[in-house]
């Protein structure tokens, strides 16, 4: 009789075990299916290029919603994929560019690695600050701040102690992220210039003709405008250094042109040189002009701190981009006549 009473309990337990086994098998099957779906989703590729902007402080849910707008997964799947790759807490803010054909695994890893989009702008030597300002204003990738600022406001914002912006930046290719401003580019270019000047000033020659790094920068801008061939920079720097050393006027045409400003029509005359006085007319005034006349390259700056050792005081263009250098006025006048006749024939 006791054995017969135990049978219903045994059957109930057996049924429960079978139900648990079935439920576990169902759960395992469902989990396997979910994993397969996630694996497949990771291989989904973008059908077009996508730019994804993630503001600072955005949560995983927020990032998922932003990504789901242009990517082939919904927000819930995006979150699941991030957890699957163990990077759910590693996704970084920034602007990202993804190209057609990239899969979701690559997208997520890029977000975790912080591989933000990088733009570039090349600011060229020999230009004036006004030229750079126009170039920056025309670049729609940059947040525009300086068009609304005066020169004085720019100086104060950048912490520049000089009264004039001309020449106070180093030309180079600068990389930036979308959302960066034109002012950020100028800040970096000014910082690079200060580093370059400090390095050369620290290692300046004992017979250097400059009292301050700014004076060297002024002469570097003149060398930059006078040089058509890079290898001549140290020689041209030596001519101007020699002149400064003995008190001769620099007589540099580019300084006169800079002083004329918008009045210069492209034709530099003897009257401009000898009669039209400005603070930048180095034919009529001794010494350096008050500010740089252009933005100098690192090579021009290096040249004025380390000019060639020469006895040259004059040079004239030969017509092929190079110059003929002379030690005295008679030799120079002969060279001028020779190369002027050559250009006329």
Residues in the chain: 345
What pLDDT is stored for residue 177 in this prediction? 87
Q: Which residues of the chain have pLDDT under 50?
A: 1-2
What pLDDT is stored for residue 2 in this prediction? 46
Indicate the helix (H) or strand (E) that contains 174: strand 172-176
Q: What is the pTM of this model?
A: 0.80
CA dist 223 and 217 (Å) reads 10
In this structure, what token pair is assigned to residue 205? 């020659």
CB proximity list for 1: less than 8 A, separation 6 or greater: none
Locus of tokens 């219903």: 8
List, for residues 240-290, the tens digit of each pLDDT value.
999 999 999 999 999 999 999 998 988 989 999 998 999 999 999 999 999
In this structure, what token pair is assigned to residue 10? 């045994």
Q: How would DSSP label each residue in 297-331?
A: PHHHHHHHHS-------EEEE-SSS-EEEESSHHH
Each residue of 27-60: b (16+ CB within 10 Å) or e? eeeeeeeeeeebeebbebebeeebebebeeebeb
What pLDDT is stored for residue 343 in this prediction? 63
CB proximity list for 291: less than 8 A, separation 6 or greater: 162, 164, 166, 167, 218
Mean of per-residue pLDDT scores for the chain: 90
Beta-bridged to residue 54, according to DSSP, are: 94
**Pairs from 135-144 (Cβ < 8 Å, separation ≥ 24):** 136/182, 136/185, 136/186, 137/182, 139/182, 141/176, 141/178, 142/176, 142/180, 142/181, 142/182, 142/185, 143/179, 143/180, 143/181, 143/182, 144/181, 144/182
What pLDDT is stored for residue 20 in this prediction? 62
* Residue 205, burial from CB neighbour count under 10 angstroms (0-12, 13-18, 19+): exposed
Q: How far is CA 285 from CA 8, 25, 267, in A?
A: 118, 96, 21
CA dist 154 and 175 (Å) reads 21
CB proximity list for 312: less than 8 A, separation 6 or greater: 235, 238, 239, 242, 325, 326, 327
CA dist 190 and 174 (Å) reads 12
Locus of tokens 């050792």: 309
What pLDDT is stored for residue 42 in this prediction? 86
Q: Yes or no: say if 294 and 225 are a contact pair by the CB < 8 Å rule.
A: yes
CA dist 121 and 133 (Å) reads 13
Q: How far is CA 209 from CA 242, 285, 309, in A?
A: 9, 18, 13
Helix (H, G, I), strand (E, B) or coil at 123: strand
CA dist 195 and 168 (Å) reads 12
What pLDDT is stored for residue 328 in this prediction? 95
């Amino acid at each position: 009789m006791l054995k017969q009473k135990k049978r219903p309990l045994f059957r109930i337990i057996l049924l429960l075990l079978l139900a648990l086994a079935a439920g576990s098998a169902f759960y395992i099957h469902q989990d396997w299916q979910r994993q397969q779906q996630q694996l497949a989703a990771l291989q989904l590729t973008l059908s077009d290029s996508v730019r994804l902007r993630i503001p600072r402080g955005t949560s995983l849910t927020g990032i998922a919603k932003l990504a789901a707008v242009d990517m082939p997964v919904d927000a819930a799947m995006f979150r699941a994929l991030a957890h699957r790759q163990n990077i759910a807490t590693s996704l970084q803010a920034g602007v990202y560019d993804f190209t057609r054909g990239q899969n979701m695994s690559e997208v997520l890893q890029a977000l975790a690695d912080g591989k933000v989009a990088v733009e570039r702008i090349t600011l060229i030597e020999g230009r004036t600050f006004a030229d750079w300002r126009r170039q920056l204003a025309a670049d729609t990738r940059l947040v525009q701040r300086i068009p609304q600022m005066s020169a004085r406001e720019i100086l104060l914002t950048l912490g520049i102690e000089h009264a004039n912006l001309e020449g106070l930046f180093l030309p180079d290719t600068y990389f930036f992220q979308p959302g960066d401003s034109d002012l950020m580019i100028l800040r970096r270019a000014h910082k690079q210039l200060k580093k370059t000047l400090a390095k050369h000033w620290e290692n300046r020659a004992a017979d250097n003709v400059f009292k301050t790094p700014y004076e060297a920068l002024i002469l570097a801008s003149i060398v930059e405008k006078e040089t058509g061939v890079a290898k001549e920079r140290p020689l041209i720097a030596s001519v101007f250094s020699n002149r400064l050393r003995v008190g001769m006027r620099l007589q540099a045409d580019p300084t006169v042109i800079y002083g004329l400003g918008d009045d210069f029509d492209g034709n530099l005359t003897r009257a401009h040189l000898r009669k039209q006085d400005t603070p930048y007319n180095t034919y009529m005034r001794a010494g350096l002009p008050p500010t740089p006349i252009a933005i100098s390259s690192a090579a021009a700056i290096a040249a004025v701190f380390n000019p060639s050792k020469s006895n040259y005081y004059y040079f004239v263009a030969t017509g092929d981009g190079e110059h003929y250098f002379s030690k005295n006025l008679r030799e120079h006048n002969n060279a001028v006549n020779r190369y002027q006749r050559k250009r006329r024939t």
